[in-house]
Structure 1
Amino acid sequence: MSTRDIYITENRGEALGLVTEQSSAEERFQNSIIRPILKLQNDLFIEVFKNYISKHKNDFYGYSTEKKLQFIENCIQKDIKFRNSLKGIVIGLFTVNEYLDYIQNSSNLNKRMMNMLIDRLKNQVLLFENVASV
């Protein structure tokens, strides 16, 4: 294992969610690797999304909460460049072996990753409301 891989695994954090022998490979990857990275990178995701809002949808702050939640979901699902940027923030913290595992089933893992990120941003929608008053 390279120095980079050791640094990443030591600083990323423990698995989040249940990981058992009955867990599928996707569930293990999600809970052992993706969830800790999403948690670690949370502050960065918040700032990246604030920047996206300022460049693409300045009237976001006037939306109802329901419309804000819909906007979060739509922009991540439909804006391919933005989605790829978010994936890169996560993939950049994979070890080499994790990346090799990831590419074996990247389509399903990407869906899981983006769904978890959408949920994470939606659960923090109040953070985006505070920006309007700044």
Structure 2
Amino acid sequence: MSERDKGLLALRPEILGEIHPQSSAEEIFQNRTLRPVLKLQNDIFVEAFVNYAVKQKGQFFLLSTEKQLHYIENAIQKDEKFRNALKGMIIALFTVEEYREYITNSSNLNKRMMNLLTERLKDQVQLLIK
């Protein structure tokens, strides 16, 4: 394992979510890799979303909480450029082995990644209002 990989793993918080013998490979990757990386990167995701909302004329900040939640979902699902930037913030913190595993099933793992990130931002909607 390279020094880079060792350093990345050392930065990550504890594994979130349980891994069972019947867990699928995607669930294991989600709990071993995605959840810790998302937790580690949380502050940058909040700042990235606030920046995105400001650049979109700041309408997000005028919406009701319910509409803000929908806005978050919509931004991540429909704005390909923003979604790709978020994916890059996650993938950049994969080890080489994790990246190799990711590319074998990137489509399904991307869906999990974006769903987890969407829920994380929605759970913190109050932090997005500055």
Classify the TM-score, shorter chain: over 0.9
Q: Percent identity?
A: 61
Name structure 1 gaps, 5 residues minimum: none
Q: How far off its partner does 1:10 sit?
A: 1.5
Q: Give the letter aligned to residue 54 of structure 2.
A: S
1:41 matched to 2:71? The reply is no
Question: How many residue pairs are counted as aligned between the two chains?
Answer: 130
| Deviations, residues 16-42 of structure 1 (Å, cap 9, x unaligned) | 101122111000000000000000000
Distance 1:76 1:17 in 2: 23
Distance 2:5 2:39 in 1: 18
Distance 1:13 1:58 in 2: 33
Q: How far off its partner does 1:12 sit?
A: 1.1
Distance 2:58 2:14 in 1: 37
Stretch of structure 1 that moved more, 28-37 or 59-68: 59-68
Name structure 2 gaps, 5 residues minimum: none
Stretch of structure 1 that moved more, 51-60 or 114-123: 51-60
Distance 1:15 1:103 in 2: 21
Q: Give the letter aligned to residue 102 of structure 1.
A: Y
TM (norm. structure 1) is 0.94
Find the counterpart in structure 1 of residue 18 from structure 2. 18
Distance 1:3 1:15 in 2: 21
Distance 2:93 2:100 in 1: 13
Distance 1:43 1:23 in 2: 29
Write the mapping of 1:87-126 to structure 2, written as runs, cut at 5 A: 87-126=87-126
| Deviations, residues 34-78 of structure 1 (Å, cap 9, x unaligned) | 000000000000000000011014121110111100000001000
| Deviations, residues 87-130 of structure 1 (Å, cap 9, x unaligned) | 0000000000100000000000000000000000000001122x
Structure 1 residues 73 and 57: CA distance shift in structure 2, 3 A: farther
Distance 1:43 1:119 in 2: 15
Q: How far off its partner does 1:14 sit?
A: 2.1
Find the counterpart in structure 1 of residue 7 from structure 2. 7
Write the mapping of 1:66-77 to structure 2, written as runs, cut at 5 A: 66-77=66-77
TM (norm. structure 2) is 0.97
